[in-house]
Amino acid sequence: MSERFEQLVLPHLDTAYNLARWLVGNPADAQDIVQEAFLRALRFFDGFRGGDSRAWLLKIVRNTSYSWMRKNRPAQLADEFDEAIHSDETSSENAEARLLTRAESERVRNALEALPLAFREVLVLREIEGLAYKEISEVTGVAMGTVMSSLSRARKRLREQLGIAARREA
> How confident is the chain (170 residues) per 10-residue block, as mean pLDDT?
88 95 93 96 89 93 94 66 43 49 70 90 93 94 94 93 74
Q: What is the tally of structural domains in the chain?
A: 2
Residues 67 and 114 both lie in one domain: no
- pTM reported for the whole predicted model: 0.71
- 152 neighbors 121 (Cβ within 8 angstroms): no
Question: Any idea what DSSP says for residue 50?
Answer: S
Residues 169 and 104: beta-carbon distance below 8 Å: no
Q: Tell me: do 58 and 119 sit in the same domain.
A: no
Q: Are residues 68 and 87 in the same domain?
A: no
Give residue 22's Cα distance to chain centre. Answer: 6
| CA dihedral for 36, 37, 39, 40, sign (positive or negative) | positive
Residues 116 and 62 in one domain: no
Q: Which domain holds residue 41?
A: 2-76
Contacts of 164 (CB under 8 A, 6+ apart): none
DSSP symbol at 10? G
Beta carbons of 149 and 38 less than 8 angstroms apart: no
What pLDDT does residue 165 have? 65
pLDDT reported for residue 96? 54
The pLDDT score that the predictor gives to residue 104 is: 61
Strands (E) in 86-168, as ranges, are: none
**First-last CA distance in the chain:** 57
